[in-house]
Structure 1
Amino acid sequence: MTIDLIVKNNLCTGCGVCISEDQSHQAKMIWNNEGFLVPSLGKSSTQDKMIKVCPFAIQQKNEDELGELFLKLPETQYHDKIGYYYGLYAGYSKEFRETSSSGGIATYVFNALLEQKIVDHLFIVKEVDGQYAYQFFSNVEEITQISKTRYTPVTLEKLFQELSKVDGKVAVSGVACFVKAIRLKQMYDPVLKEKIAFIVGIICGGLKSRYYTDYLAQEAGCKSEYSHAQYRVKNKESHALDYKFSCIEKSDKRIHMVDMQSLGDMWGTGLFKSNACDFCDDVLTELADISLGDAWIKPYRMDGLGNSIIITRTEIAELIVNGNDLVLDSIDENKIIESQSGSFNHRHNGLLYRIQLYKSQGRIVPFKRERVLKKQIFLLNMIQKNRLLTREKSIYFWMKFNDRQKFNNAIKIYLYKLRFVSKWTHRLIRFIQKIKL
């Protein structure tokens, strides 16, 4: 497998770490026609080196092997779905909750890393001139400026290009595939383990094309260029799922908003999602120092201000979350898994079917951990088939129309079929279970 094959088979999530391994320095990250960032290779690009750090390549260690290498210690616990960990929690930051997405825990952790001199710099996604990109950040006085969720493609391309120029230690945040790429880079260059001293894992429901933001902007009422997209405008009087998207139209500087609940299920349907995400089996960013995500479980999901689940995987992470600013409950492994049950059902339970389907079509797929591959009944596989088709069509129709109304008209039949199959499959399963009881 090569980087070229990764890109051609839509298995790239745009992490950009491979760029740092191109000894010709010809490779760079570009936007593809589906609205994702992917590597563009030069004639002399050293793909044999680049592929070593690709999180979707066949050639590398899997998350179990890397977890054992980086996180396994006598004092850590292990769960085959959660990975290695010290503590499991749900809760929020009193200081950063109102200005942050979810429970404000990520902002709290970033603040603690800088204040306690654990690192000297953060490499995180930050707003620049109304757009979002990874940037170095070290001003603890402006920490609330980095406290929002962003569902738009970004890349780590600049991290290893600029890391040697930065004095001191660095913390990096990222989704599971980005974290894995960093760990692979550290495995081949152990000096980087000290330089990148802490990794914050952001639990991810799937990476979205930049067309997702364009669609939301049009639904919000923007008719021309926009900036300052905000994906999680909270309603503190309601529940955690009741939030809005907002953006600013450049022509008149007006703020436009749309209630996300009015748009239906943008995540379970796979709309605008990267194809590669359907071949990721790391639900909880198993290789990070700390893993953070939304607490989609009762009673936490009923609070409109938001709560986070927290998995500490290193001693430093455990010490950080024992600060006075946090309101935390210790929760058990089952609650952690329940909080991301939809992602586990899709990524693990449907993975074997997706792999077999793609192989039958002559398409390349990465090797996955055998223990997560499960056989499903035919009807559950039909849900997977319809979800794959809906994902693919959503990007195709947006590329074709670039218009919310035409898009909605074209995609509705696929959404209807997916809802129909899902509804009757789950009814049938409940009926069979009732009979057995």
Structure 2
Amino acid sequence: MASIEQVIRERMCSGCGACQFAAPDLFRMEENADGYLQANKISDAEEPAELRRICPFSGERLSETVIAERQWPDLPVNSQIGRHARSIVCHATDEKLRMAGGSGGLVTWIALELLRRGLVDGVLHVQPVSTHASTPAGRLFNYSVSTSAEEVRAGSKSRYYSVTLADVLTEIRSRPGRFAVIGVPCFITAARLLVEEGQIERDRVPYMIGLVCGHMKSRYFADYLAWQKGVTPGTLDGFDFRQKLLDRPASNYGFRLHTPDRDEVYPMKSVRGRDWGEGLFKLPACEYCDDVLAECADAAIGDAWLPGYVADPRGTNVAVIRHPDIVAIIAEEQGRSLHVEDVSVEAVIRSQRSGLRHRREGLAHRLARRAAEGLWIPEKRVSPALAKGRLRRRIYDLRLKIANESNAMFADAVKAGDLNVFEKRMDPILRDLRHATQGGYIKIMLRKGLQHYRRLRHRLGR
């Protein structure tokens, strides 16, 4: 079984900070040269075996399946989305709240309702540095504790940026109250493991809200987008990754950059790096995660990338609800402060099909590649198996190469003061990936067209 030190050596630390929280004299979260936070061992003392049970990438911890079964033993389970009490698409009816969110405003809406009803005293979520004075210098975002509706609203929207729970969990250890935790799947898993191991009292964090996750980004993602618009790395003082553009579908959003001299919005289509499937600036750990729908969270919330919803530029959420309190709150507010439509589990799966495929078939393929090279294999809920077909294998191999190399290549460009250093080194890899994915798509469409033609000829022949 892997120690936390081995997880770090194998570049499979996602920066959750559970180890620092549990053993601050042994581990500290620090930003590495690749632009993301990871644990570093700061003492020669031996690592206690129990620490391995709180790391979401350690093979000794409980799996998401086991944690979810303990949390909601009576709920039905699906192999793709986990336990589920209700699956919905929805959006806040308050237009200001909806427009302030990354999608339909559901994450902020739930946090506000929990706070308004006195079910929690505060919310742990990611805030811009301007709203959290204790954030370390040079960082754009960090976790903080919000105790008012105004503070909660200031934390709306997605932050594609490396952060950690370590400091904020330490902060609430010394202050009374109950808190809701909002985070990506591996962070929610880490928080559950801390509860399971008695590091956090269960009633201190009664609600955990998960964000449907494609992957996490290093801080270089914001710098890359801004640099293409003439803003050199290190000069940003704010960034909005999800600026809604009301003249186009929700999927065609923009970004907003802030410097002391500029406050401008640009469509994502105007820059390179907009294709999430490329995996630029992805944390390497994300290539070895099998949780898309935050299976340990009381509610898992994402974008409703579905026909009939994506056309609305104001945004719509898809969600899997598990906690009975949240189920009841949504039922009570349905048609009032929240517009809700029930959807099937299959619809939820369709909305995240690409991510699920990459974390199931793609993960099995990556594990098989590691096994063939004699490398350590993290214990996951899929077994190592190469993807079927040369095209799929090539796509997964190229994505892994991009995840492993793009951050370091960008760091080289920053040192050189020349964005072209990054572009010249990454362009061949990205071009190969586009040829593989688009070529595969064209072949599929041609095959479907041929099948349709044959069926039509058969019918006409009758």
TM class, shorter-length? over 0.9
* Structure 2 residue 281 is matched with structure 1 residue 272: yes
* Structure 2 residue 138 is matched with structure 1 residue 138: no
Aligned to 1:59: 60
Q: CA deviation at 1:381?
A: 0.9
Aligned to 2:356: 344
Aligned to 2:123: 122
Give deviations 1:175-212, integer Å, cap 9, x for gaps: 11001111111111186221110000011110001111
Report the more deviating stretch, 388-397 or 234-243.
Answer: 388-397
Using the alignment, how far apart are the partners of 1:355 and 1:396 within structure 2? 23
Aligned to 2:326: 317
Q: Could you tell me the TM-score, scaled by structure 1's length?
A: 0.94
Q: CA deviation at 1:431?
A: 5.3
Aligned to 1:366: 378
Q: CA deviation at 1:428?
A: 3.7
- Give yes or no for contact 1:121–1:137 (8 Å, CA) kept in 2: yes
- Give yes or no for contact 1:220–1:245 (8 Å, CA) kept in 2: no
Using the alignment, how far apart are the partners of 1:179 and 1:161 within structure 2? 16
Report the more deviating stretch, 5-14 or 384-393.
Answer: 384-393
Aligned to 1:188: 197
Give deviations 1:28-76, integer Å, cap 9, x for gaps: 1101111111112122263423221010111122111111111222xx2
Aligned to 1:412: 427
Aligned to 2:137: none
| AA of the residue aligned to 1:262 | S
Report the more deviating stretch, 144-153 or 356-365.
Answer: 356-365
Using the alignment, how far apart are the partners of 2:8 and 2:115 within structure 1? 36
Q: Tell me: CA distance 1:143–1:62, structure 2 relative to 1, closer, same or farther (3 Å).
A: closer
- Give yes or no for contact 1:27–1:40 (8 Å, CA) kept in 2: yes
- Give yes or no for contact 1:9–1:363 (8 Å, CA) kept in 2: no
| AA of the residue aligned to 1:13 | S
| AA of the residue aligned to 1:266 | D
Q: What is the DSSP-based 3-state SS (H/G/I as helix, E as strand, rest coil) of the residue aligned with 1:30?
A: strand
Q: Tell me: CA distance 1:9–1:356, structure 2 relative to 1, closer, same or farther (3 Å).
A: same
Aligned to 2:300: 291
Q: CA deviation at 1:391?
A: 2.4
- Give yes or no for contact 1:245–1:259 (8 Å, CA) kept in 2: yes
Aligned to 1:100: 101
Q: What is the DSSP-based 3-state SS (H/G/I as helix, E as strand, rest coil) of the residue aligned with 1:184?
A: helix
Aligned to 1:18: 19
- Give yes or no for contact 1:219–1:258 (8 Å, CA) kept in 2: no
Q: CA deviation at 1:330?
A: 0.6
Aligned to 1:425: 440
Identify which of 160, 170, 179 aligns with 2:179.
Answer: 170
Highest Rg: 1 or 2? 2
- Give yes or no for contact 1:348–1:374 (8 Å, CA) kept in 2: no
* Structure 2 residue 252 is matched with structure 1 residue 242: yes
Aligned to 1:39: 39
Q: What is the DSSP-based 3-state SS (H/G/I as helix, E as strand, rest coil) of the residue aligned with 1:302?
A: coil
Aligned to 1:392: 404
Identity %: 28
Q: Could you tell me the TM-score, scaled by structure 2's length?
A: 0.89
- Give yes or no for contact 2:160–2:241 (8 Å, CA) kept in 1: yes
Using the alignment, how far apart are the partners of 1:16 and 1:373 within structure 2? 31
Q: CA deviation at 1:237?
A: 2.4
Q: CA deviation at 1:424?
A: 2.3
| AA of the residue aligned to 1:9 | E
Q: CA deviation at 1:375?
A: 4.5
Aligned to 2:110: 109
| AA of the residue aligned to 2:88 | Y
Q: CA deviation at 1:392?
A: 2.5
Q: What is the DSSP-based 3-state SS (H/G/I as helix, E as strand, rest coil) of the residue aligned with 2:186?
A: helix
Using the alignment, how far apart are the partners of 1:200 and 1:45 within structure 2? 34
Q: Tell me: CA distance 1:420–1:70, structure 2 relative to 1, closer, same or farther (3 Å).
A: same
Give deviations 1:57-115, integer Å, cap 9, x for gaps: 11122111111111222xx2221111111111112102210122110111101100100
Structure 2 gap segments, 5+ residues each: 132-139, 456-462
Q: What is the DSSP-based 3-state SS (H/G/I as helix, E as strand, rest coil) of the residue aligned with 1:129?
A: helix
Q: What is the DSSP-based 3-state SS (H/G/I as helix, E as strand, rest coil) of the residue aligned with 1:173?
A: strand
Report the more deviating stretch, 366-375 or 384-393.
Answer: 366-375
Q: What is the DSSP-based 3-state SS (H/G/I as helix, E as strand, rest coil) of the residue aligned with 2:277?
A: coil
Aligned to 2:268: 260
Identify which of 170, 174, 190 aligns with 1:161.
Answer: 170
Q: What is the DSSP-based 3-state SS (H/G/I as helix, E as strand, rest coil) of the residue aligned with 2:281?
A: coil
Q: CA deviation at 1:306?
A: 0.6
| AA of the residue aligned to 1:257 | V
Give deviations 1:260-287, integer Å, cap 9, x for gaps: 1123543101111011111111110011
| Alignment map for 1:80-95 (pairs within 5 Å) | 80-95=79-94
Q: What is the DSSP-based 3-state SS (H/G/I as helix, E as strand, rest coil) of the residue aligned with 1:387?
A: helix
Using the alignment, how far apart are the partners of 1:359 and 1:231 within structure 2? 37
Identify which of 205, 209, 212 aligns with 2:221.
Answer: 212
Using the alignment, how far apart are the partners of 2:158 and 2:211 within structure 1? 10
Structure 1 gap segments, 5+ residues each: none
Q: Tell me: CA distance 1:372–1:97, structure 2 relative to 1, closer, same or farther (3 Å).
A: farther
